[in-house]
Amino acid sequence: MRQGSRSFAPSDPIRQLLIESLLLAVVGSALGALLAAGVEQLACFIPQSPGDPLFLDLSFDWRLLGFAAAVAALTCVLFGLTPALRATRIEPERQ
């Protein structure tokens, strides 16, 4: 083994791909939250009829945020773990 080189552990690609998936999920969730805040501001400009006013409850809901975070985490694990497990079955090429 060369000086400074690191031995390969089978969990290395799994860890790397799960971290990448988590980063993508966090960035996507943050962008979705920003988009929702922008759409909330635009919803105030929806035309209303004088006889039938439109009421929109745009209050913050922690349950909805928790559900969205759980779905993002589940998606991260499922779609990050599948390619990671496939990557561990491939033998690295020896030189």
62-75 residue pLDDT tens? 898 889 888 888 88
CA distances from 55 to 40, 43, 52, 62 (A): 13, 10, 9, 21
36-60 residue pLDDT tens? 888 877 877 777 777 777 777 777 7
Place of tokens 């035309």: 47
Q: What percent of the chain has pLDDT over 90?
A: 3
Say whether pLDDT at 95 is over 80.
Answer: no
